[in-house]
Amino acid sequence: SFIGEAVLTVSVELLIEKLASKGLELFTRHEKLKADLIKWKGMLEMIQAVLADAEDRKTKDKAVKKWLDNLQNLAYDAEDVLDELETEALRKELLLQEPSAAYQPSTSTSKFRKIIPTCCTNFSPRSIQFESKMVSQIEDVTARLQSIISTQKDLLTMKNVISDGKSRINVGQRLPTTSLVNEDEVYGREKDKEAIVELLLRDDLRADDGFSVVSIKGLGGVGKTTLAQLVNKDDRVQRHFQIKAWTCVSEDFDVFTVSKSILNSIASDQCTDKDDLNLLQEKLKKQLSGKKFLLVLDDVWNENYNSWRALSCPFGAGASGSKIVVTHRNQGVAETMRAVSTKTLKELSDDDCLRVLIQHSLGARDFNIPQSLKEVAEKIVKKCKGLPLAAKTLGGLLRGKDDLNDWEIVLNANIWDLQEDKCDIIPALRVSYHFLPPQLKQCFAYISLFPKDYEFEEEQIILLWTAEGFLDQEYNGRKMEDLGRQFVRELHSRSLFQLSSKDTSRFVMHDLINDLARWAAGELYFRVEDTLAGENQQKFSQSLRHFSYIRGRYDGDTRFEFICDVQHLRTFLPVKLSDFDENYLAWSVLQRLLNLPRLR
């Protein structure tokens, strides 16, 4: 089974920032507290240095996974301790301030308070009791940190981390794509193909660089590469361009490697191992000079303008009407390349997905299969939610199988529980998460609290992120609301959020992207899927921090008996599916919630 990746990088960064906050300065007079907090900072910085390597190794190394789980729980506990310290510091600061006019004491009392040394306010029984409790909690966290550091030395080394903080380990073992395609196995893309071909055959789309970029954007597994292959193979396109080249770029956008791949595709006899970048691009420019070319750059992630400019230098030598087709998930790729047109690829219809499933399972090109299998197949297709790669993957699992039991096993299986070497859709989707910045990973995992097909507004999710403290980090001096809007738009531009087809002011997630969020969230998040009785029997992890449920008409004690056992709960989120239904939460449940010290 696949393991939810805890969002640790941002948690550790946040802890280091909090250790330097002004609110904690009041406690630095306490030598024991001060010494331990200094230890925290040093140990967290050591952990931070190897974190990228650890998160990549987590899915294949159970010991590393356990280490990360312990670290995530510890990060939450440490943050809770620091929050308590900051809250107490704020309380003391308020006590030291002048009382309000409404409760102004006598002038003599006010003057008397001014001459009392600040340090003397720390000697109240409450302060002594508080500091004693915090010393105990801090000692516990310090001991756990030391244990984690000790284990880290055995599991992880700095050798596995490169200078930019990314691991050397691949995100997923995905084969590079080629230009070849079996058109008989593709369904539902006729109109999309014609739209792209029409653009490629036009010679009046010339950009300032002398060539035009046409982009194909969409969710992982939606069929962007397949559409590019169909377009590239079209007879009209083949006749229109003098030079055709295909390059699978993938996540690592290396200008030298991509330039060499393009030249090798055009004139393999010109490539040698002795070529440097300058020589490669001189040769490439010579090959393209005065000729109308079509270059397909598949699976591009690069949004760095300088890298794109460096790669594209030789392309301007081509003849008028030259085109570059780029497939990508992030809108920033098209903007960086100044695409003249972006085709956003939609999901397939259920009928077309069914054809893909049957093609790859039974080798049939029509619906002439036993009715019993067809009924199960239609239900399997619903799970694919229009992604042809998902239909192809599940069809491959059923290849040559006509036993109804085999089909029902696939129907009832969770895609994310399938073995990765048999399921291409998992690495295809997971790479979208891998390349999110740390802050966005945290915000994306939070969306796992929303049920599938749930539509939410931008303002709603920004308020929830703000309440959780996800937008507290300083970010170029921007306000939290502006930062939240940027995060929403970024997730939308990366095809992780989609605009609702019913209301364009709302967003929704594809079902498999919702599954991806749950995978990323791990045991820290849990959502109850329905409102039926008996849910209280669900066993909850002691690591649970965030909880959501779909509101029932009346939610009472029997539904939330578990609350008393989950003392570290931070989020208790009721989700309302309808604006018209009345919902009630029992007063006894509210009383239980008020006893949870970490609830936000």
- What SS3 class is residue 551? coil
Residue 369 has what pLDDT?
80
Q: Is the pLDDT of residue 357 over 90?
A: yes
**What distance in Å separates the CA atoms of residue 456 and residue 509, rounded to the nearest whole number?**
10
- The answer to whether the beta carbons of residues 350 and 378 sit under 8 Å apart is yes
Can you tell me which residue has the tokens 């018209």? 580
**What distance in Å separates the CA atoms of residue 202 and residue 137, rounded to the nearest whole number?**
69
Say which range, 20-29, 221-230, 466-475, has the weakest mean pLDDT.
20-29
Residue 192 has what pLDDT?
97
Residue 29 has what pLDDT?
59
Q: What is the mean pLDDT of residues 570-588?
A: 80
Say which range, 147-156, 326-335, 397-406, has the weakest mean pLDDT.
147-156
Q: What is the mean pLDDT of residues 458-480?
A: 82
Q: Give the tens place of pLDDT for each residue, 128-187.
A: 777 777 778 888 888 888 888 877 766 655 444 433 344 444 455 567 899 999 998 999
Q: 160: number of CA atoms within 13 Å, CB side?
A: 17
Instruction: Dig out the tokens for 449 from the structure.
Output: 């609290």
Say which range, 149-153, 394-398, 435-439, has the weakest mean pLDDT.
149-153
Which is more confidently placed, 176 or 223?
A: 223
- The answer to whether the beta carbons of residues 593 and 585 sit under 8 Å apart is no
**What distance in Å separates the CA atoms of residue 124 and residue 5, rounded to the nearest whole number?**
44
**What distance in Å separates the CA atoms of residue 125 and residue 67, rounded to the nearest whole number?**
39
Residue 292 has what pLDDT?
95
Which is more confidently placed, 525 or 121?
A: 525
Say which range, 102-116, 441-455, 478-492, has the weakest mean pLDDT.
102-116
Q: What is the mean pLDDT of residues 324-342?
A: 95
Instruction: Dig out the tokens for 249 from the structure.
Output: 């770029």
Q: Give the tens place of pLDDT for each residue, 316-328.
A: 999 999 999 999 9
Average pLDDT value over all residues in the chain: 81
Residue 105 has what pLDDT?
47
> Among residues 243, 233, 215, 220, which one has the least CA distance to residue 178?
233
Which is more confidently placed, 141 or 242?
A: 242
**What distance in Å separates the CA atoms of residue 412 and residue 415, rounded to the nearest whole number?**
9
Q: Give the tens place of pLDDT for each residue, 531-566.
A: 444 444 556 777 788 999 888 778 877 778 777 777
Q: What is the mean pLDDT of residues 300-318?
A: 95
Which is more confidently placed, 302 or 31?
A: 302
Residue 37 has what pLDDT?
75
For residue 116, name the pLDDT band (cuts at 50, 70, 90): very low
Residue 475 has what pLDDT?
56
Q: Give the tens place of pLDDT for each residue, 589-598.
A: 888 888 887 8
The H or E element spanning position 555 is: strand 554-555
Q: Is the pLDDT of residue 365 over 90?
A: no
For residue 257, name the pLDDT band (cuts at 50, 70, 90): very high
For residue 223, name the pLDDT band (cuts at 50, 70, 90): very high
For residue 474, name the pLDDT band (cuts at 50, 70, 90): low
Q: Give the tens place of pLDDT for each residue, 515-528.
A: 999 988 888 898 88
Backbone CA torsion sign across 473, 479, 484, 486? negative
Q: Give the tens place of pLDDT for each residue, 58-77.
A: 556 677 777 777 888 888 88
- The answer to whether the beta carbons of residues 296 and 262 sit under 8 Å apart is no
Which is more confidently placed, 258 or 501?
A: 258
3-state secondary structure labels for all residues of 272-335: CCCCCHHHHHHHHHHHHCCCCEEEEEEEECCCCHHHHHHHHHHHHHCCCCCEEEEEECCHHHHH
**Cα dist. 132→15, 138, 595 in Å?**
22, 10, 22
Which is more confidently placed, 37 or 268?
A: 268
